Structure 1
Amino acid sequence: MFEYIDGRLTFKCPTYVIVEAGGIGYHINISLNTYSNLGDDERCKVYTWLHVKEDAHTLYGFADEGERRLFLHLISVSGIGPGTGRMMLSSITPVEIQSAIVTGDLPLIQRIKGIGAKTAQRLVLELQDKLKKEGQGSLIAAPLRTTAREEALSALIMLGFAKPASEKVLDNVIKTGGLELPVEQMIKLALKNL
């Protein structure tokens, strides 16, 4: 329902933040990873996921799309709810979780509070192939995301280039040229490599 909330950070603690957007203060549950990645800046953007139950609507927030994507993978596994998913993201970094699942590191996964041997095995069994297909872990090799990058990507897609190839080329352009490249320059460099 809510893709992200972009607004003014009015309160921040290790378990939740309050972001004011459009005159409404949103109470958003977060992991320690998100807490450490969110600055104390007044302006912030939090990627969200809404958990709807019969008796409550709970909003979960993430510092970036990669963490949210991993969270959604985790809660898709039987026996792992949003609270446990948040606990996992608070216990170890998303990159470590993803790496542990891809490599089958059961002892590391079991060190997380609330995760036993059977749940750890289920996590590896159900998510290992999915995370491998995302490119040896989408967080391990997470694409660099900037507004300029997104604009350049939209332009390349409108020009008729495939999204996956365009993303790969743009990420390489940003790695070599830096994040400060203007959109026009990104597009020109990408076109040379497509």
Structure 2
Amino acid sequence: MITHLKGKLVEKNPTYVIIECGGVGYFVNISLHTFSKLEDVENIQLFTHLQVKEDSHTLFGFSERSEREIFRLLLSVSGIGSSTARTMLSSLSPIQIRDAIASGDVPSIQAIKGIGAKTAQRVILDLKDKVLKIYDIDEVSTISNNTNKEEALSALEVLGFARKQAEKAVDKVLSQDTSLSVEDIIKYTLKNL
């Protein structure tokens, strides 16, 4: 199996690149995430996944090992093919997908074009335990706390508070109790502002 390619960048497009290695040009499918990470330099390295089918061999390239790992996890889900997995990685970063799976965030995954409610639920059901184990995430509450913090900050900004000021106050509240709901974070923060 081809694990990575290192060579001259011949052509760069949002959906694919052509890399010349040892006189051979490789057509490599990429996500928008990888495209955004690729610098306009002559020589590049991509971590790869080779998909072998009866009628084709398709090469996928990733700027980071973590993106390739998420891609392979997504492929293990029934109903998720390589084009859907690539679309998912083009819509959300690997970390956002990992966090959405670990926290059971169906709406975030469902927001990706072509992903319905049942598919989003299947992705979470099939991958949640694997993601928690692979990335050694002990508590899903840590991820949901970050989401609660962001929601609380957004609400405070809508109320007219400056982001930095609100963030300091929210951090102070969360330093005392990390299990607060969004409403409680806002309520206690307003008392400190």
Query: Residue 34 in 1 paired to residue 34 in 2?
Result: yes
Q: Any idea what SS the aligned residue of 2:86 has?
A: helix
Q: Any idea what SS the aligned residue of 1:34 has?
A: helix
The aligned residue for residue 43 of structure 2 is: 43
The aligned residue for residue 124 of structure 1 is: 124
Once superposed, which parts of structure 1, at least 4 consecutive aligned residues long, lie more than 4 Å away?
none
Name the larger-Rg structure. Answer: 2
Q: Any idea what SS the aligned residue of 1:88 has?
A: helix
Amino acid at match of 2:119: T
Q: Any idea what SS the aligned residue of 2:49 has?
A: strand
The aligned residue for residue 67 of structure 1 is: 67
CA RMSD of aligned residues (A): 1.1
Identity of aligned residues (%): 55
Deviation per residue, 1:6-65 (Å, 9 max, x gap): 001111010000000010000000000000111111110011111111111110000011
Q: Any idea what SS the aligned residue of 1:41 has?
A: coil
Within 5 Å, give how 1:96-107 maps onto structure 2.
96-107=96-107
The aligned residue for residue 182 of structure 1 is: none
Runs of at least 5 residues in structure 1 that lack an aligned partner in the other structure:
138-194
Within 5 Å, give how 1:127-142 maps onto structure 2.
127-134=127-134, 135-136=136-137
When normalised by structure 1's length, the TM-score is 0.69
Distance 1:109 1:58 in 2: 25
Distance 1:128 1:64 in 2: 21
When normalised by structure 2's length, the TM-score is 0.69
Distance 1:9 1:105 in 2: 37
Distance 1:114 1:57 in 2: 24
The aligned residue for residue 109 of structure 1 is: 109
**How many corresponding residue pairs?**
137
Q: Any idea what SS the aligned residue of 1:80 has?
A: coil
Runs of at least 5 residues in structure 2 that lack an aligned partner in the other structure:
139-193
Distance 1:48 1:21 in 2: 14
Cα shift at 1:125:
0.7
Q: Any idea what SS the aligned residue of 1:90 has?
A: helix
Amino acid at match of 1:13: N
Deviation per residue, 1:89-129 (Å, 9 max, x gap): 00111111111000001011001111111111111111111
Distance 1:83 1:4 in 2: 20
Amino acid at match of 1:136: I
Q: Any idea what SS the aligned residue of 2:6 has?
A: strand
Query: Residue 84 in 1 paired to residue 91 in 2?
Result: no
Q: Any idea what SS the aligned residue of 1:85 has?
A: helix
The aligned residue for residue 17 of structure 1 is: 17
Distance 1:67 1:89 in 2: 8
